Amino acid sequence: MVDKIKLMKSVKTMGLNEFESLAGYTNADEGKKMIVFCEKEISCKDVNNWGRQESKDFYIGIDESGWIKYNQISQYFQGPFKIMDSSVTNIDEDEVLEYLEGANCTEKEFLNFWSKVKAILYSM
């Protein structure tokens, strides 16, 4: 049987060692600098009648400290992109696996996560 925790520890080590070459910002050139493994829009709503929207997004990935959950509320359209609020929570491999195997994780997130793990582990 595949040891998922061991794979996550290996990819974390590689991610930390190659952080600068693998990381990007959650919104092109703004947001949290991290290696994103899962991302999901939690909600989206109109802010005004002129087309401005607000989005709440959720990410799991690796930053300079290890595995994290990152939440971001941003506004866009009709004006500059702006991050209104954000939070970072450090997590361990068990918590990542708990999310991946839980009811809140979509099939797309699950597959994207393991695809990213494979891409990193077999590219270095």
pLDDT, tens digit (0-9, with 9 covering 90-100), for 70-89: 999 988 777 788 888 999 99
**Average pLDDT in the chain:** 92
110 domain residue, yes or no: yes
Q: Which of 38, 116, 106 is nearest to 70 (CA)?
A: 38
Number of domains observed in the structure of the chain: 1
124 domain residue, yes or no: no
Q: Between residues 46 and 115, which one has the greater pLDDT?
A: 115
User: What is the pLDDT, as a whole number, of residue 79?
Assistant: 75
Q: Which residues form the domain of 94?
A: 4-117
Q: Is the dihedral of CA 47, 51, 52, 55 positive or negative?
A: positive
Q: Between residues 41 and 14, which one has the greater pLDDT?
A: 14
34 burial type by CB count under 10 A (0-12 exposed, 13-18 middle, 19+ buried): buried
